[in-house]
Amino acid sequence: MDFQLTTEHRMLIETAQAFVRQELLPHEDAVEQSGEVPAELAAQIRCRALDAGLYAFNMPESVGGAGLDALSQTLIERELAKVSWALQVYVARPSKILMACRGEQVDRYLLPSVRGEKVDCFALTEPGAGSDAASIRTRAVYEGGYYRINGAKHFISHAGEADFAIVFAVTGVDESAGRPRNQVTAFLVDTDSDGLTIRRGPRCVSNRGYHQYELFFDDCLVPADRVLGEVGQGWLVAGRVMVAASCVGQAQRAFDLAAGWATERHQFGRPIGHNQGVSFMLADMVTRLRSAELLTLETAWRMDQGTMTDADAAMAKLFASETLAMVADNAVQIYGGMGLMDETPVERIWRNARIERIWEGTSEIQRQIIGKSILRDWG
C-alpha cells in the first residue's frame, strides 16, 4: 500500500476543509442552541454543496455522482465529520442501495437524489429489531399489483426531511436452510403515501438538530414496481468504513482542541500540557488516533482493491469508534470543568461520540463479526 496521498486526494481534502470552515462551522453554535436547522440554511448548504461538487460524492459518475473511490470518500467523510450531522447531512450521501433502482425507479428516485431534488431516509430499525435486523416485524403482503405494509420503524434519522423512505419489510419465510428465516424486501415508499404516518421520536443527546423519527404503516399500499431490486450486504460494510472515517475526523478535532487548551491554559505558573499527567494523555490520544486513521484508510484501500472482508470493516468501525470515545473523554478531562460547558465544542463532540458505538452495528456486533472470522479461518 502506498501511504502517500495523491495530488487529487490533497485537493479533495482542501475542498472539504474549506467547505466545513466556510459553510458549516459558522452555524454550529446556533444549531446546538436551538436544536434546529432553519429550512433556508438547509437549502443554502445543499446548493453550495452542489456548486462545490461535494453533493452525492459517494455515488458513481454513471448516475451523476462524483465517481470517487472508497479512499477518496473516506478522506472527505473525515473532514465533514468535524461538524455535527445536523449540518453535514445537507451535503447529502444518498443511500448506496439506490443503485439497485431499475426502470422507472431510476428517474423517480435515484437521479433526483443525486441531483439534490429529492432526499431519502433509511427505514430498517424497529422497536424490537436493532442489532438483530433479521427480526423485523413490519410486513408487506402482495395484493393484486400492490403490497400492503403494516408495522412500525423507529430511530429513523432525517425522516422528517425525506421525500421517500427505503423501507425494509418481511414478505415471506424462507425454510430452505433448515430453519425458518424471514425474507426481507426493500421498498421505495413516498413519505406522503396514504397509510404512512411520520412522527418525531424521542430527543437524542447526540447531534442536536439531527432528528430521529418514528414511522407507522397502517395498510399502506405501495405499488409492486416500488420493490427495490435484489440487494446484497455491500451497503452495510461500506457504511461501517465511512462511520470509521467519521470517528477519525471527530477525534482529530477533539485532539486539536485539547492540545490547544493544554498549551494555552496555565496553572501553577505554566501551561498544563507541561504536567506529565496531561502530556501522557495527549500522547495516548494521538497514538490511538493515528492508529485508527491508518486502519480506516487501509480498509478503504482494501475496499477499492476488492479484498475487504466484513471483518476488515468491523475492525475499522470498532477501533475508530472506541478511539473517538477515549479521545473525546480525555479532551473533556484536559479541559476540566470547562469541558462540560455547552459553549465549548469539546462538550458536543463528547456527546456526539456516544452514538458511534451503537449505530451501523454496535461494538458488540463488530466483535462478533471479527470473532467469527477468526474461528472460521482457524477452524
Catalytic residues: 360
Q: CB atoms < 10 A from the CB of 132, how many?
A: 10
| C-alpha separations of 121 from 88, 124, 310, 333 in Å | 15, 10, 24, 36
Sign of the torsion formed by the C-alpha atoms of 26, 28, 29 and 30: positive
**Whole-angstrom Cα distance, residue 112 to residue 109?**
6
Q: Which residue has the cell 425507479?
A: 105
Eight-class DSSP state of 227: B
Residue 46 grid cell: 445543499
202 and 131 Cβ atoms separated by less than 8 Å: no
Single-letter amino acid, residue 200: R
E strand residue ranges, the chain: 120-123, 139-143, 146-157, 164-174, 181-190, 196-200, 212-223, 266-267, 270-271
Q: Which residue has the cell 409492486?
A: 224
- What is the three-class DSSP state of 352? helix
The closest alpha carbon to 312, from 244, 255, 231, belongs to 244
**Whole-angstrom Cα distance, residue 254 to residue 327?**
7
The closest alpha carbon to 73, from 309, 256, 306, 238, belongs to 238
